[in-house]
Chain A
């Protein structure tokens, strides 16, 4: 499959990259690892006139720890984040989510964390070859006016956000730094997602994600990421969940849960904080209630946008939620933070 024509730019520093981005505006895409963008270009889903490569921007590939945050450059390779010792020890949820992406031997040496967060939404009716798509009407995401994934059709796109790192990073309260030539702003990661299927990110045309800030661990907290997929490698999630809890050893002090692969953006289950707060640690009933809430919340967004049946995916939200919450709680209690390599 040939790629459509474009011009290739390889800026030598971030200022040059932002300058280019500002000049090209809409007519341009940022090329990090290319494992999402180049596939969509080959399938004729996007045809940017210009690409800006991040290859030479070593300043965007840094990973370092400060007193308040783990700072990860947006162009840091997934393999480099896995190899950074503190991540495995202190952010096991993040470690698991990165391990779950693609195939360990391949995508990780190309794929970047910024690319994983900024990947486009997916749908079984959209992410297909030209000839597959030609057999049907053009859908909302491709510029038409129908949706095949939503029962009875819809005037909105019901594609799904398939980032594996977004749920756990949002659950842990991560922030992202967004830069344009004119300004720099830091926002909570959930605000990066618009929950609009056609344009899933809130980034402006001249803006670039440059850094991810993950809060340092506090005593008694734990994180976990669970992904259910048909295959262990190169597969998108049926359902995924990122969980973050804080305990004082006896009671739950804080809990947050974000479900991935069910909605147009990562789905934060806001109610579970109240449900789990002040409940005893290990209270099975509390976990069951939280799982039910997650399932009910997810059901409202569930569309036939992946190949698996909607009913199955809905039921699995509850299962994956329980697993993630239990593992996060176990880690919070034991302080044994290193995940057993799966």
Chain B
């Protein structure tokens, strides 16, 4: 098994790497790029804690080969804050007490971000649906959904 070359853009930075075919995107991010925001929970695509955005869409990094992400834009939780300012979604999680142990948080944030990019005016039901692939073992779901709801653009409704 020999290493293969990989060109990938992570949080806006270009990387030219050589990776083994059986390296998952999560292993690449955590072990090689030292971006430890994406967590390995189950490793089988069930829990959602390894979620990152690939070209703006949430995917499980534990079930994506690094080589499959070749040529893609990856955004991890480390890439949400811009110039030291937290993303409004991150701030909302803090303000609403949506973080307990924190293990599921990065996955929740990335899925919510990916969802809001496409559905900026979503309602509570859609948000719950969008986050249904994530497990929070502290069971802090209510606060998490409230936090996401608080950053939904309501400007259209008022009109």
Contacts and interface: CB of A to CB of B under 8 A. Distances in A.
A146 to B, nearest CB: 25
Nearest to A9: B21
A167 B130 CA distance: 26
Interface string B59-87: 11001110110100000000000000000
Interface in A208-250: 232-234
A84 interface: no
Interface residues of B, number: 34
Given A35-B45, A106-B59, A110-B60, A5 B132 contact: no
Given A2-B22, A35-B45, A232 B132 contact: yes
B111 A5 contact: no
Contact of A233 (B65, B114, B133): B133
A104 B130 contact: yes
B4 interface: yes
A5 B65 CA distance: 12
A51 B1 CA distance: 12
B133 A234 contact: yes
Chain A contact-residue range equals: 20 to 34
Contacts of A8: 4, 21, 65, 67
Interface string B32-50: 0000000000011110100
Nearest to A49: B1
A7 B63 contact: no
Contacts of A1: 43-44
Nearest to A109: B57
Given A5-B21, A42-B44, A51-B21, A104 B60 contact: no
Nearest to B125: A341
Interface in B11-29: 20-24, 27
Given A5-B21, A103-B133, A233-B132, A110 B43 contact: no
B133 A6 contact: no
Contacts of A5: 1, 20-22
A65 to B, nearest CB: 24
A6 B58 contact: no
B79 to A, nearest CB: 18
Contact of A53 (B68, B111, B134): B68
Contacts of B141: none
Contact of B132 (A38, A51, A103): A103
B22 A110 contact: no
Contact of B63 (A10, A38, A51, A55): A38
A105 B132 contact: yes
Given A6-B22, A109-B57, A102 B65 contact: no
A13 to B, nearest CB: 17
16 contacts: A2-B27, A3-B22, A10-B67, A35-B45, A42-B43, A103-B48, A103-B133, A103-B134, A104-B132, A105-B130, A106-B45, A107-B45, A109-B54, A109-B58, A110-B60, A234-B133
Minimum-distance CB pairs A-B, first 10: A103-B133, A233-B132, A8-B21, A3-B22, A1-B43, A109-B57, A5-B1, A106-B133, A105-B130, A39-B44
